[in-house]
């Protein structure tokens, strides 16, 4: 969020940035009650507040039954349909849908499974009440949530920079999952997200062998590493890489030029 970045730049203080983020979250919460019916407000707030816990799971698929209803019972998916639509229309949260087959057009293969992400990785950190210093310093107690933060960041970059609504794919035996699929220039590009420097990606390897995508992307805390047919991008540079995806897919022969650009 620009205001949070400006606050940090002005004061060199994570606390100043977090204060702005908390203010934005409060504004969101108040807005929920201004623009929807009284029946839907508690459901929207329940979904919004459950978002960090849903992403913190190893299996990040959103489970409607884990959203508490007003009477404390489990929510039903059909009761949350309109609240989900409102959150997406308001630009507050986005669903990343699962596809049964990574083929064009991806939306034709969409099923009922999805992950729910927020609009900003900084706001996600504020929602979880994780101290900014823990995120920046990479504390061990932050280990389990690193993957969620990394995926949130990449998801918002895919939408903002590549102007693409991403999907994700899981094999029928659930042993292989690709974090994101981007449909661009008549191709489906798999994107693997790693929150560490460890580059082992069995799922991506399996996906490449099975579907032979023209280009694959892996982003992590590691630096650039040349590899045939695979664009290894540091997390901080993923935005630039995504901006170049359409051209790289159209002109695969320029892969070596792209590798030089990000080295």
Tell me the pLDDT tens digit for each residue of 210-262: 999 988 999 998 888 767 778 899 999 998 888 888 777 766 545 444 554 55
Query: What element of type H or E holds 167?
Result: strand 167-170
Least confident of 8-17, 120-129, 191-200: 191-200
HSE-CB at 105 with a 13 A cutoff on CA atoms is 4
Q: Is 221 exposed, middle or buried (0-12, 13-18, 19+ CB in 10 A)?
A: middle
How far apart, in whole angstroms, are the C-alpha atoms of residue 51 and residue 67?
9
Tell me the pLDDT tens digit for each residue of 117-163: 999 999 999 999 988 877 777 656 566 688 999 999 999 999 998 88
Q: For residue 223, report the phi and psi dihedrals to the nearest 5 degrees.
A: -85, 175
Give the predicted TM-score (pTM) of the model: 0.90
For the chain, the average pLDDT equals 88
Rounded to an integer, the average pLDDT of 204-208 is: 94
Q: 124 with 145: CB under 8 angstroms?
A: no
Rounded to an integer, the average pLDDT of 20-27 is: 96
């Amino acid at each position: 969020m620009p205001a949070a970045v400006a606050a940090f730049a002005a004061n060199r203080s994570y606390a100043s940035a977090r204060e702005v983020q908390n203010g934005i979250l409060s504004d969101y919460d108040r807005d929920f009650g201004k623009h929807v019916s009284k029946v839907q407000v508690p459901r929207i707030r329940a979904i919004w507040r459950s978002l960090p816990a849903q992403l913190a799971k190893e299996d990040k698929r959103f489970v409607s039954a884990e959203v508490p209803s007003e009477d404390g019972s489990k929510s039903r998916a059909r009761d949350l349909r309109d609240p989900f639509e409102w959150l997406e229309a308001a630009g507050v949260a986005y669903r990343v849908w699962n596809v049964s087959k990574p083929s064009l057009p991806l939306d034709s293969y969409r099923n009922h499974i999805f992950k729910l992400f927020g609009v900003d990785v900084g706001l996600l950190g504020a929602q979880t009440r994780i101290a900014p210093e823990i995120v920046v310093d990479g504390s061990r107690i932050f280990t389990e949530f690193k993957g969620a933060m990394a995926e949130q960041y990449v998801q918002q970059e895919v939408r903002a920079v590549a102007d693409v609504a991403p999907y994700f794919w899981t094999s029928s035996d659930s042993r292989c999952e690709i974090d994101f699929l981007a449909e661009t220039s008549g191709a489906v590009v798999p994107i693997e997200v790693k929150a560490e420097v460890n580059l082992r990606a069995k799922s991506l390897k399996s996906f490449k062998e099975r579907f032979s995508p023209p280009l694959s992307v892996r982003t992590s805390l590691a630096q650039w590493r040349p590899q045939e047919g695979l664009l290894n991008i540091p997390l901080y540079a993923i935005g630039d890489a995504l901006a170049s995806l359409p051209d790289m897919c159209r002109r695969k022969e320029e892969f070596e030029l792209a590798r030089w650009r990000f080295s």
